[in-house]
Amino acid sequence: MAKTGSRSFELASKPRIVSSASYVGKKEGEGPLGDRFDVIMKDDTLGLKSWEKAESRMFESAVRVALSKVERTSEDLDCLIGGDLLDQIVSAGFAAREIRSPFIGLYSACSTITEALMIGGMLMDGGFIDLAACAGSSHFSSVERQYRFPLEMGVQPVPTAQRTVTGAGCMLLSREAIGENKQKCFQNIIVSAGTMGSVEDFGITDAGNMGAAMAPAAADTIAKHLADFGRSPCDYDRIITGDLGVFGSDMLFELLEKRGIGIRSVHNDCGKLIFGDDKSVVCGGSGCGCAAVTLASHYLPLIESGKLKRILILATGALLSPVTSMQGESIPAIAHAVVIEHRSNGGSER
């Protein structure tokens, strides 16, 4: 509850993540994390008439699967918090129409899932909600045609390109332990703290190089987080960025090393993890769904089992639009960070 710095916060009541769910595309299912996802689509339209309808259905399903793991339904939700990359966040909005709980719509590009966990954690710690779903999604095909080129054009990716992840991830935040004795839910995961991001812009105008545009925002939030809490990178088992990819991750290391902060030994990036060594995705994955499904299905089980005791996760978002790019603007970016820990840590220093 206490403010620890101008932009960081602690969650004294330690809200729990009691379950999570991930819903991904075929290509993501064929990657190294494939066996961890809850649902892998065979057809990226799910038999619906558009990719946009399919993305909204994925979003809704991820929320429902996370609820079902703790034997709850959408009627038990105090609110749904989330967003996506489509104009007017229609994937989230149309999913919220079906879920029917109160809805807090966010836009923070690919930083949405940590913005949602941050807001959800603070509202729960403030006593306003008891059970909330935090969710984010993206879909390769809906995003390509909105931000870049029609798929039918077959445009070649540039050397700094990343592939938008087709996936929706949901984390269920709860004030109380629920779902005891259920195999698929979590008993040991808490959200203990975080740091709000501010918008950084190093003047990069190449929308084919999002990693470079977002690295300064990630560096800024990590540096401020460590300073606010008086910690060093080794206080975390992992510092995880959302979708900087190969190129953006290298840039992040250099930016932080200029400030005397070395994170190479504890860093990983969901965009680098999700497609493994697949060269067809060039620099890795991206999109709201990238950090959401990797956190939901890869990192949370590692914390639940105690293999990881404390992580700092920062999803990273580029706040451009096709219109601003055409108007010659550079790419502003943001990264919101949350600390997720094993309950035995109790949120205190190790």
Q: Which residue's CB is nearer to its own copies, number 101 or number 174?
A: 101
Q: What are phi and psi of 75, to 5 degrees?
A: -70, -20
Q: Does 242 bind its own copies (CB under 8 A)?
A: no
Of 50, 73, 205, 232, the residue at the interface with its own copies (CB under 8 A) is 50
Q: Does 227 bind its own copies (CB under 8 A)?
A: no
Q: Does 20 bind its own copies (CB under 8 A)?
A: no
Of 97, 264, 307, 350, the residue at the interface with its own copies (CB under 8 A) is 97
Of 83, 120, 169, 289, the residue at the interface with its own copies (CB under 8 A) is 83
Cα–Cα distance, 318 to 244 (Å, whole number): 10
Q: Does 151 bind its own copies (CB under 8 A)?
A: no
Q: Does 73 bind its own copies (CB under 8 A)?
A: no
Cα–Cα distance, 299 to 312 (Å, whole number): 11
Which residues lie closer than 8 Å to 18 by C-beta, 6 or more apart? 70, 172, 173, 174, 177, 178, 179, 185, 186, 189
3-state SS, residue 342: strand
Sign of CA dihedral 97, 107, 321, 295: negative
Tell me which stretch binds its own copies (CB under 8 A): 65-73, 96-104, 227-235, 259-267.
96-104
Q: Which residue's CB is nearer to its own copies, number 100 or number 264?
A: 100
Of 38, 55, 60, 125, the residue at the interface with its own copies (CB under 8 A) is 125
Tell me which stretch binds its own copies (CB under 8 A): 34-42, 122-130, 164-172, 204-212.
122-130
Q: Which residue's CB is nearer to its own copies, number 83 or number 271?
A: 83
Tell me the C-alpha to C-alpha distance, in Å, between residue 285 and each of 52, 102, 155. 19, 31, 17
Tell me which stretch binds its own copies (CB under 8 A): 59-67, 207-215, 262-270, 325-333.
325-333
Nearest in space to 135 (alpha carbons), one of 220, 205, 65: 65
In contact, 210 and 286? CB cutoff 8 Å = yes
Q: Does 88 bind its own copies (CB under 8 A)?
A: yes
End-to-end Cα distance, the chain: 20
Q: Which residue's CB is nearer to its own copies, number 12 or number 234?
A: 12
In the range 188-207, which residues lie near its own copies by CB under 8 A?
196-201
Q: Which residue's CB is nearer to its own copies, number 9 or number 275?
A: 9
Q: Does 130 bind its own copies (CB under 8 A)?
A: yes
Q: Does 149 bind its own copies (CB under 8 A)?
A: no
Cα–Cα distance, 50 to 190 (Å, whole number): 37
Tokens describing residue 176: 């109380």
- Beta strand 333-342 with 267-269: parallel, antiparallel or unpaired? unpaired
In contact, 138 and 165? CB cutoff 8 Å = yes
Of 181, 327, 344, 348, the residue at the interface with its own copies (CB under 8 A) is 327
Least separation in angstroms between residue 186's CB and its own copies is 24
Q: Which residue's CB is nearer to its own copies, number 86 or number 171?
A: 86
Angle ∠(52,46,272) on CA atoms, nearest 5:
75
Cα–Cα distance, 20 to 212 (Å, whole number): 30
Return residues touching its own copies (CB under 8 A): 1-3, 6-7, 9, 49-50, 52-53, 78-79, 83, 86-90, 93-94, 96-97, 100-109, 115, 119, 122-123, 125-130, 146, 196-201, 319-324, 327, 329, 332, 334
